[in-house]
Amino acid sequence: MNFSLKIWRQDGSQGRFEDYEVSDVSADSSFLEMLDQLNDQLTESGGDPVAFDSDCREGVCGTCCLVINGRPHGGRGGTTCQLYMRHFADGETITIEPWRATAFPVVRDLVVDRSAFDRIIQSGGYITVHSGPKPEPNTMPIEPEVAEEALDAASCIGCGACVAACPNGAAMLFTAAKISHLGLLPQGQPERMERVRSMVEKMEDEGFGPCRNYGECEAACPKDISIKFIGRMNRDYLRATMVEPYDRRGKMKPQ
């Protein structure tokens, strides 16, 4: 298969699209393998390889982050590394861009700085339950429905597709998933109110936009995380900031 590629190249504050041709691509190659082939071609000809992120290439780590033909991860219900060239027509022109968001500045070419996600997690995405031996499961029963919902939220891989898809560049789905998977379980209750308050405020400080319920984040998420978690986060945030101001031990602060 042969493809024409329009790739965003940037080294500094200014960027531009550049055109490339790549030929003899196997239909069974992943999208990242196609880019590897292009970079081999550029290296052999003395050109500058295209910078892009990748790690596990198994849809687990969330490192690969490309907007392909205007859709995060290509819009195929998975990550970029799970997108295969057989999903494109032979001879097709493919446009490849980095995530577009104020909070995700471009480092180079297709690589963006997503450390804002790390800082949101650091602000409250943890529990203070001791990390010693596992407790007997029957001492802390959790209803299967609650456990399943917590696991659904915990499936977030932090790729940032939700931010790239959102017209406002909001990180509400990511933040809500990280807050909810801890807040649903007994172990996450001591910091529940402080967690939602600090993580939401940190998200806003990082420059992410507001949520307008477009639903693009849910549609772009490779793990199909529901926007219902945003509603759960908003309820907890309202409770934490206006109704029941708790301290970090779950005790109500003196009025």
What are the tens digits of pLDDT across the range 181-238?
Answer: 999 998 898 889 999 999 999 999 999 999 999 999 999 999 999 999 999 999 999 9
**Chain center to CA of 230:** 15
Cα separation, 165 vs 30, whole angstroms:
22
Count of all residues that appear for the chain in the document: 255
Q: Residue 178: name the closest of 120, 250, 245, 249 by CA.
A: 120
Q: 234 and 119, same structural domain? A: yes
What pLDDT sits at residue 78? Answer: 93
250 belongs to a structural domain: no
Strands (E), the chain: 3-10, 15-22, 67-68, 71-72, 93-97, 106-108, 111-112
Q: Which residue stretches of the chain have pLDDT < 50?
A: 254-255
What pLDDT sits at residue 253? Answer: 55
What pLDDT sits at residue 255? Answer: 41
Q: What is the CATH number of the domain that holds 49?
A: 3.10.20.30
The pTM assigned to this predicted structure is 0.90
Q: Residue 175: name the closest of 255, 98, 127, 121 by CA.
A: 121
Q: 124 and 100, same structural domain? A: no
Cα separation, 157 vs 170, whole angstroms:
16
Domain that holds residue 89: 3-108
Consecutive H or E run containing 34: helix 31-44
DSSP per-residue codes, 167-207: TT---HHHHHHHHHHHHTSGGGSTTHHHHHHHHHHHHHHTT
Q: What is the CATH number of the domain that holds 177?
A: 1.10.1060.10
| Tokens coding 80 | 């970029």
Q: 239 and 125, same structural domain? A: yes
Label residue 183 exposed, middle or buried (CB < 10 Å: 0-12, 13-18, 19+).
buried
Cα separation, 51 vs 91, whole angstroms:
23
Q: 126 and 87, same structural domain? A: no
248 belongs to a structural domain: no
Instruction: For residue 58, count other CB atoms closer than 10 A to its CB.
Output: 9
